[in-house]
């Protein structure tokens, strides 16, 4: 065993300061998560309960196997927008009858469970996760369909939701819809496209057009039950495969459907693994409040991987990027972690080689971000930093093993790309509350803008207003700072959630388990031209 040593001193003032800064950020995060849990607020929750209905999260909980975890995804979707935090939908991965499933549940307490642009993004992301990892999908539906005032943002791209359901089915991934209430118009295609449907007596309403619309269109008089009730669909149209007497019965029947899927993961679960040698609690005290202060990512790795056992690859070469092999909850992983922030040529080449090795060995990769990007300056340009950064980005782009990204600190510029940022399709990407991501740091960005504006004024022969420049710089800096923060980025679905650093091992373990539902196979060749 090659157990990592530690130099972290939990009694030091630095540790105390780092921890205090992290706990303050976690308290802010809790307050935002509470908003998502609160759904549409007390009034609508009380009305919903008054109708004898379960809340979205209660439905999820009753669906899952008792005492199993639910990895909720994108809980902060829509943060910072005009829509409710959480985007009127719950998505996540949970275990039903021993099967890891991708579960979505619309929240009818938020504007009738209608889908706004962020709900759509969140739902499409959930489908992407189900597809890539071959997770059976269960949709718990009760929704007013499209959020009508924002229809222009969702109507046309929203068609992908129904397309995805049948593509999942075509790929042999089971899809199950349980309808708790309204699922009308476009929403009717959720049960319509699913492999299995459950509807509830006197509750489910599944029709292309409700009574008023039918009256307008054809003059026909009708009622909800005869147009789209559960009994009608179970006895007459055949759209309901299972007729449930109430919500509990519907969830029970959904569990029976999963039990009968004969579902098998591509890779068997490994035996229980040895935990890290060091306390995971200490992960709260590693990242400094000021990201300019570097930290050793080995301290993080030592608290995340099995038995803190890590075999480092090329430790003496390109030391600003730590690479090496470990196991996480019993599954092999390769880890790439930024050490000193900047990526130089050697780090980039080392990363490209390491990623190829992981592909040869079918080993998933974990990227731990704390980078300000690739090195700039004459010496580095002349040394070929563009070529070498391109090699790393080529390797990341064409790698076929699953990637997991965790933004611990900075994730700036092309460094975000090379470390498998969102656009590089990591299977999952999570951010710590300490992270920041943008094209560059706020100060640098404001400074660059100011230099460009000054040069532009000089070229036109105009005087430059230094006072206005200082004001503009401060404003830009503040704007970029707020747009670099994890809650803002999570709101835009640029990650799958902001997590407590102390949960990193658990979250990555749940992801790796889900990932191994599908075959894990690396690329054998198939990379682009490596510019040497």
Residue ranges binding ligand COA (CB under 6 A): 111-112, 114, 144-148, 182, 184-186
CB of 77 to ligand COA, least distance (A): 17
In whole angstroms, what is the distance from residue 138 CA to residue 90 CA?
12
Q: Which is nearer to ligand COA, 224 or 312 (CB)?
A: 224
Q: Which is nearer to ligand COA, 151 or 444 (CB)?
A: 151
CB of 252 to ligand COA, least distance (A): 24
Q: Which is nearer to ligand COA, 17 or 214 (CB)?
A: 214
Number of C-beta neighbours around residue 163 at 10 A = 13
CB of 83 to ligand COA, least distance (A): 11
Q: Which is nearer to ligand COA, 210 or 384 (CB)?
A: 210
Spatial CB neighbours of 269, under 8 Å, sequence gap ≥ 6:
330, 513, 516
Q: Give residue for tokens 């469970």.
A: 113
The phi and psi torsions of 347 (rounded to 5 degrees) equal: -60, -40
Which residue number is nearest to ligand COA in terms of Cβ?
A: 145
CB of 107 to ligand COA, least distance (A): 11
**DSSP string computed for 489-502:** HHHTTSSS-B--GG
User: What's the alpha-carbon Rg for the chain, to the nearest Å?
Assistant: 25
CB of 132 to ligand COA, least distance (A): 28
CB of 197 to ligand COA, least distance (A): 19
In whole angstroms, what is the distance from residue 35 CA to residue 32 CA?
5
In whole angstroms, what is the distance from residue 47 CA to residue 63 CA?
23
Q: Between the CA of residue 335 and those of 230, 277, 301, what are the distances in Å?
A: 51, 18, 8
CB of 90 to ligand COA, least distance (A): 17
Q: Which is nearer to ligand COA, 177 or 300 (CB)?
A: 177
> Coil, strand, or helix at residue 196?
strand
Q: Which is nearer to ligand COA, 36 or 73 (CB)?
A: 36
Q: Which is nearer to ligand COA, 41 or 519 (CB)?
A: 41
Number of C-beta neighbours around residue 445 at 10 A = 20
Q: Is 37 in contact with 57 (CB distance < 8 Å)?
A: yes
Q: Which is nearer to ligand COA, 145 or 324 (CB)?
A: 145
Spatial CB neighbours of 447, under 8 Å, sequence gap ≥ 6:
473
CB of 210 to ligand COA, least distance (A): 7
Q: Is 522 in contact with 358 (CB distance < 8 Å)?
A: yes
For 313, the token pair is 């690859």
Q: Which is nearer to ligand COA, 120 or 408 (CB)?
A: 120
CB of 41 to ligand COA, least distance (A): 10
Number of C-beta neighbours around residue 5 at 10 A = 10
Angle at 330 between CA 326 and CA 335, to 5 degrees: 25
Q: 25: buried, middle or exposed (CB in 10 Å: 19+, 13-18, 0-12)?
A: buried
CB of 184 to ligand COA, least distance (A): 6
Q: Which is nearer to ligand COA, 45 or 457 (CB)?
A: 45
């Amino acid at each position: 065993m090659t157990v990592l040593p530690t130099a972290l001193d939990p009694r030091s003032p630095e540790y105390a300061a780092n921890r205090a800064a992290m706990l303050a950020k976690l308290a802010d995060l809790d307050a935002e998560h509470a908003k998502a849990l609160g759904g549409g607020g007390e009034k609508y929750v009380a009305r919903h309960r008054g109708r004898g209905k379960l809340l979205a999260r209660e439905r999820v909980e009753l669906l899952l196997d008792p005492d199993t975890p639910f990895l909720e995804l994108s809980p902060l979707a829509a943060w910072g927008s005009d829509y409710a935090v959480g985007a009127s939908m719950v998505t996540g991965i949970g275990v039903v009858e021993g099967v890891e499933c991708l579960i979505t549940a619309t929240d009818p307490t938020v504007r009738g469970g209608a889908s706004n642009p962020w709900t759509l993004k969140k739902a499409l992301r959930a489908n992407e996760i189900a597809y890539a990892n071959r997770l059976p999908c269960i949709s718990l539906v009760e929704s007013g369909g499209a959020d009508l005032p924002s229809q222009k943002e969702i109507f046309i791209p929203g068609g992908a939701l129904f397309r995805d359901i049948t593509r999942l089915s075509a790929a042999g991934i089971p899809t199950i819809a349980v309808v708790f209430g309204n699922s009308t118009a476009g929403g009717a295609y959720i049960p319509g496209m699913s492999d299995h449907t459950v509807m509830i007596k006197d509750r489910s309403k599944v029709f292309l057009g409700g009574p008023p619309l039918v009256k307008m269109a054809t003059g026909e008089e009708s009622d909800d039950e005869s147009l789209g009730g559960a009994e009608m669909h179970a006895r007459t149209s055949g759209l309901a495969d299972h007729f449930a007497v109430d919500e509990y019965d519907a969830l029970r029947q959904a569990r029976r459907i999963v039990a009968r899927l004969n579902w098998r993961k591509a890779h068997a679960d490994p035996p229980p693994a040895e935990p890290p040698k060091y306390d995971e609690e200490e992960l709260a005290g590693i990242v400094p409040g000021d990201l300019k202060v570097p930290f050793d990512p080995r301290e993080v790795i030592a608290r995340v991987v099995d038995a803190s056992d890590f075999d480092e690859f090329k430790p003496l070469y390109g030391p600003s990027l730590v690479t090496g092999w470990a196991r996480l909850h019993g599954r092999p992983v390769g880890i790439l972690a930024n050490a000193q922030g900047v990526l130089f040529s050697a780090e980039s080449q080392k990363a490209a080689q390491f990623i190829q090795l992981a592909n040869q060995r079918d080993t998933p990769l974990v990227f731990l971000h704390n980078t300000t990007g690739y090195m700039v300056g004459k010496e580095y340009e002349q040394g070929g930093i563009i070529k070498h950064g391109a090699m790393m980005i080529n390797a990341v782009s064409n790698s076929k093993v699953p990637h997991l990204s965790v933004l611990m600190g900075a994730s700036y510029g092309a460094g975000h790309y090379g470390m498998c940022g969102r656009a590089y399709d990591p299977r999952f990407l999570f951010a710590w509350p300490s992270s920041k991501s943008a094209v560059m740091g706020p100060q640098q960005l404001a400074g660059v803008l100011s230099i460009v504006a000054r040069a532009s004024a000089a070229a036109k022969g105009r005087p430059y207003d230094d006072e206005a420049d200082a004001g503009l710089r401060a404003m830009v800096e503040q704007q970029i700072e707020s747009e670099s923060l994890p809650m803002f980025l999570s709101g835009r679905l640029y990650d799958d959630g902001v997590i407590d650093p102390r949960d990193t091992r658990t979250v990555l373990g749940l992801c790796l388990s889900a990932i191994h539902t599908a075959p894990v196979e690396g690329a054998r060749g198939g990379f682009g031209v490596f510019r040497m």
